[in-house]
Amino acid sequence: MNHADSIRIGSALEQTGYTFTEQVDNADLIILNTCSVRQRAEDSAQGKLGSLGPLKKKNKDLVVAVTGCMVPPQEEGKRPLYKRFPMVDLFFDTLDPQSLIEILPEPGCAPEPEQALSVGGTGLTIQSKIGVTAFVSVIHGCNYTCSYCIVPLRRGKEKSRTIDEIVTEIKGYVKRGVREVTLLGQTIDAYGHDLPGRPDLADLFYAVNQIEGLWRIRFLTSHPKMMSYKMIKSVADLPKVCEYFNLPVQAGDNAILKAMKRPYTVEFYEKLAATVRETVPGSALSTDIIVGFPGETDEQFQHTYELLERIRFNEVHVAAYSPRPGTLANTYEDNVPLEVKRERLQAVERLQEGIARSYSQEFLGKDVEVLVETREKGKWKGRSRTNKLVFFDNPTGTEYDGLDWTGKLVDVTIETVGPWSLVGRVAGTPAVRKGRLLPVFNAEADTACEVDLPLSIANK
């Protein structure tokens, strides 16, 4: 989500004449977009801020601005931050960059073209070019109050963007070569309830699915309580929506779920997971888990472990509980020792590695549709529809030798597998899935056109 926000802020500033720089040293403006979901993320942002001090000394005109989850929405909440971080010129809300625009050079003294802008995540990654895939926030904020979570305190209530606005944004990306979008929201399946006519996520899928030149639609993160049958069915029915659900369960014990203020039971969640798998054949299910929540006993952790064994998720993101100031859980004693948290975390990781490996083995010898994103360590790299990383070699000695596969859909026959990735060779045909025939697009061109691939492939 921060990545998507960074790109939006960056694009807005580009329109005022700023350009991106790869070199932090060259920047006239540095924006740090922060995360504070766990203490470690906040520590990392603070470390980065510390390292900007010397740059400020070197360039007196350098503007440093901070946005994202570290910045509380109310003005009085921001005041202590100015004291703590004197090298920061401005703390601003991600959705309201007006105050940033105000401290930049006045309209009229337009910035020089070489005036540089640095926009990035906590790691100061600089994204000047748009790639094959793009992230699009469709609903901001969160109406839940999970007891461990800082997000609602920092990001406020849910606010959906309109379907028209989202579709227009995505069409713009497609013109610049984007072939896959990931629609984002903390509770993406709550999308639209605050809009006139109350469209839902399925309605948004239908609209985005119509965009010509876009091949894949992903979505994150679904709340178990908000996922409707209509939404699940739309994933099965719409050819561009990838069969991948991120449905965080957080814990596999009902008492812990209650203390977390997650409004469902383990039994409810298991039924939902079964419905997803029955309704969307071949779908992948991923989840988030917190271990070491205050008061979590060995037995309660065992319930989580057993749930993971029963459901056999395709992916699990596991985190050790980290107390966050201002949350309800912060008033509970953080009484699971660090060592125990670490053991539980590692137990989940070991279990999941075995499960992921066995899922990978099912791909051996099969053809997988891959959208190629980039070239890395001498191989082409992309993802399956179910979000598995896939690598393949340049097919030397064949008619595709030397082809730039970036942004292309290709079938790859899987030959070797690891738990987290698959390696194979080009099967030779673009994918025809669910009755759709996909033309090949030139990522550089403004409009879609058939290029690059030998005709025998493009016409298949």
Q: Does 249 bind ligand SF4 (CB under 6 A)?
A: no
DSSP string, 64-75: EEEEETTS-SSH
The amino acid at 242: C
> Which helix (DSSP H) or strand (DSSP E) does residue 370 occupy?
strand 367-376
Segment near ligand SAH (CB under 6 A); pick from 12-20, 132-140, 315-323, 448-456: 315-323
Q: Is the peptide bond before 221 cis (omega within 30 degrees of 0)?
A: yes
User: Contacting ligand SAH (CB under 6 A), which of 36, 322, 360, 384?
Assistant: 322
Which of 69, 136, 149, 251: binder of ligand SAH (CB under 6 A)? Answer: 149
Contact call for residue 149 and ligand SF4 (CB under 6 A): yes
Which of ligand SAH, ligand SF4, none interacts with 288 (beta carbon under 5 to 8 A by kind)? ligand SAH
> Which pair of structure tokens corresponds to residue 273?
């997971």
Residue 9 binding: pick among ligand SAH, ligand SF4, none (C-beta 5-8 Å cut-off by kind):
none
Residue 227 makes contact with ligand SF4 by CB under 6 A: no
Write down the H helix ranges in 238-316.
254-259, 266-279, 298-311
Placement of tokens 């529809």 in the chain = 385
Q: Find the radius of gyration of the CA atoms of the chain.
A: 23
Is 224 near ligand SF4 (CB under 6 A)?
Answer: no
Pick the stretch among 25-33, 42-50, 147-155, 409-417 that binds ligand SAH (CB under 6 A): 147-155
Token pair in block for residue 402: 């030397």
Instruction: Give the interface segment with ligand SF4, choosing from 77-85, 143-151, 265-273, 438-446 (CB under 6 A).
Output: 143-151
- Chain-centroid distance of CA 264 in Å reads 24
Residue 152 partner contact from ligand SAH, ligand SF4, none using kind-dependent CB cut-offs of 5 to 8 Å: ligand SF4
Q: How far is the CB of 79 from ligand SAH (least distance, A)?
A: 24
Among 160, 187, 322, 352, binds ligand SF4 (CB under 6 A): 187
* Ramachandran class of 305: left when φ > 0, alpha when ψ lies in -120 to 50, beta otherwise: alpha
Q: Which two tokens stand for residue 149?
A: 């979570």
Contact between 38 and ligand SAH by CB under 6 A: the answer reads: yes
Query: Can you read off the two tokens belonging to residue 289?
Result: 């888990």
CA distance 182 to 180: 7
Using the rule CB under 6 A, is 322 a contact of ligand SF4? no
* Nearest distance from C-beta of residue 248 to ligand SF4, angstroms: 7
Q: Give dist(CA 291, CA 251) in Å, integer.
A: 8
Q: CB-based burial of residue 110 (10 Å sphere; 0-12 exposed, 13-18 middle, 19+ buried)? A: exposed
Binding flag, residue 290, ligand SAH (CB under 6 A): yes
Within 290-447, where are the H helices? 298-311, 338-361
Number of residues that bind ligand SF4 (CB under 6 A): 10
The residues binding ligand SF4 (CB under 6 A) are: 142, 144-146, 149, 151-152, 186-187, 223
The residues binding ligand SAH (CB under 6 A) are: 37-38, 148-149, 151, 186-187, 221, 223, 248, 250, 288, 290, 319, 321-322, 324
